[in-house]
């Protein structure tokens, strides 16, 4: 790590709003500020040289949906190990969900997480709970938490199932100009679903969670967003009809945005059968059908789906190595997001590189009302350097997360972050720790 040193990054291809990724340039950074972006800059005395070997560089990526597990579940992940995983995966910022113990339901807990992350190279933005203990009953002090640093509100881990509570939360959200992020699931329809309800669940004899459980909740929340004027962000969308409803809401000018996880545009419920009930294919919303996967990619391509977020959800080996129906939901995602994006979106030409980068940089920050980093002289350097073709093995040894519950474990992945630069520091991915 080069702390606050003057730095010359050599041999990069900037990509983003004002760069198309085809020009080889050097970037000079002094005091954490970008000073110059030009071809073939001469090194100055005292400057550290970093040869990026022809990597791409974009504004620093943000994952707006992660579970850092601290406080309360430090055996799964901590703010520190989660940020190490983020840095290794190319992310300079994360927004973390409130299903901790205690929940992020008071300003104290918001400030605890901000403090924990202060010296880490990744910006951590806590998401406050909508309800006390995420119990779905009493609304939290949203304004106070916002003053403490909360950037959005959600009961994620669980849905805000009470319609009146959701209405009140959106009314406050409108006043505070923050989004409410809902885990869209009607529990009466979904429980005790262990996987997507469909042909595969029938064949396997497992109780399924139907698409309609997600869709009725999205429909309700779009109506409530329209009524209140509060911004609704649909978390981890996974069904074709869900995407259609968000598309229509946007066409009507409603304050509705959404995100998708890499696993939902990569994998289907068939994997559960193929893997003989590997619990690393268990998450909520569940892996759905090939048609839903296609709808996610279409939604990304036409702009209906604003952001790519991982829903990084660490669990220990002990917790996941149980019978499928007893295993907790969720997989880690920070370190595998980029290669999955490369394979499913970039390589087949479904999205262009600048389109993809927008969903990892600009859109998540716009949704959370955060400043968007620019690669321009005079701007603070907040950068992700990455390759689209570099191969690596997703082994326990190579993962920085405290947990390794991923369906990609021990697979060869193509595409990797090379380094991040944030808070005045260059952090090469292979030296994170």
The residues annotated with a catalytic role in the active site are 311
- Cβ atoms of 427 and 87 within 8 Å: the answer is yes
3-state secondary structure of 48: strand
Least distance to Zn ion, CB of residue 93, Å: 19
CA distance 245 to 249: 6
Report, in Å, the least distance between residue 12 CB and Zn ion: 35
Task: Tell me how crowded residue 414 is: count the other CB atoms within 10 A of its CB.
Answer: 16
Is 29 or 331 the residue whose CB approaches Zn ion more closely? 331
Residues in contact with Zn ion by CB under 5 A are: 156, 183
DSSP of 200-255: HHHHHT--EE-HHHHHHHHHHHHHHHHHH--EEEE-S---HHHHHHHHHHHHTT-S
Nearest to 244 by CA among 226, 219, 261: 219
Q: Smallest distance from the beta carbon of 3 to Zn ion, in angstroms?
A: 36
How many other CB atoms are there within 10 angstroms of residue 29's CB atom? 26
Which residues, other chains included, contact 318 with Cβ-Cβ below 8 Å and sequence gap of 6+? none
Which residue number, 156 or 292, has a Cβ lying nearer to Zn ion?
156
Q: Which is nearer to Zn ion, 69 or 183 (CB)?
A: 183
Shortest Å distance, C-beta 95 to Zn ion: 13
Nearest residue to Zn ion on Cβ basis: 183
Q: Are 309 and 125 in contact (CB under 8 A)?
A: no
Q: Which is nearer to Zn ion, 123 or 156 (CB)?
A: 156
Q: Return the number of the residue (286 or 428) whose C-beta is nearest Zn ion.
A: 286
Q: How far is CA 57 from CA 223, 383, 425, in A?
A: 40, 7, 15
Q: Shortest distance, CB of residue 36 to Zn ion, whole angstroms?
A: 43
């Amino acid at each position: 790590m080069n702390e606050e040193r003057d730095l010359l990054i050599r041999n990069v291809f900037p990509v983003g709003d004002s760069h198309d990724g085809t020009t080889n340039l050097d970037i000079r950074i002094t005091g954490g500020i970008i000073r110059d972006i030009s071809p073939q800059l001469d090194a100055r005395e005292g400057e550290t040289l970093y040869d990026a070997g022809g990597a791409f560089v974009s504004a620093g990526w943000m994952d707006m949906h992660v579970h850092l597990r601290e406080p309360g579940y430090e055996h799964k992940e901590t703010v520190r190990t989660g940020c190490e995983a983020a840095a290794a995966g190319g992310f300079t910022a994360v927004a973390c969900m409130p299903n901790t113990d205690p929940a992020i339901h008071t300003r104290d807990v918001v400030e605890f997480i901000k403090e924990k992350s202060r010296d880490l190279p990744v910006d951590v933005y806590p998401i406050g709970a909508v309800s006390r203990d995420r119990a779905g009953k009493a609304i939290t002090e949203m304004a106070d938490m916002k003053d403490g640093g909360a950037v959005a509100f959600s009961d994620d881990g669980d849905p805000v199932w009470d319609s009146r509570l959701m209405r009140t939360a959106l009314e406050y959200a409108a006043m505070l100009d923050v989004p409410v992020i809902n885990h869209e699931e009607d529990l009466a329809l979904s429980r005790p679903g262990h996987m997507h309800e469909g042909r595969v669940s029938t064949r396997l004899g497992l109780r399924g969670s139907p698409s309609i459980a997600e869709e009725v909740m999205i429909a309700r929340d779009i109506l409530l967003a329209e009524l209140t004027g509060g911004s609704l962000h649909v978390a981890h969308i996974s069904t074709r009809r869900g995407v259609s409803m968000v598309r229509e809401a946007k066409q009507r000018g409603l304050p509705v945005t959404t995100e998708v996880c890499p696993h939902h545009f990569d994998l289907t419920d068939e994997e559960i059968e193929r893997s003989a009930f590997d619990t690393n294919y268990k998450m909520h919303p569940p892996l759905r059908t090939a048609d839903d996967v296609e709808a996610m990619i279409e939604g990304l391509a036409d702009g209906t789906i604003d952001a790519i977020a991982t829903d990084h959800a660490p669990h220990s080996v002990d917790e996941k190595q149980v019978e499928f129906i007893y295993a907790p939901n969720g997989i880690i995602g920070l370190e595998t997001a980029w290669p999955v994006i490369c394979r499913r979106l970039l390589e087949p030409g479904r999205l262009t590189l600048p389109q993809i980068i927008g969903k990892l940089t600009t859109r998540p920050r716009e949704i959370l009302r955060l400043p968007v980093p620019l690669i321009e002289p005079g701007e603070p350097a907040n950068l992700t350097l990455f390759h689209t073709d570099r191969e690596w093995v997703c082994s326990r040894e190579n993962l920085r997360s405290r947990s390794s519950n991923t369906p990609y474990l021990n697979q060869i992945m193509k595409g990797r972050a090379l380094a991040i630069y944030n808070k005045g520091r260059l952090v090469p991915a292979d030296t994170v720790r």
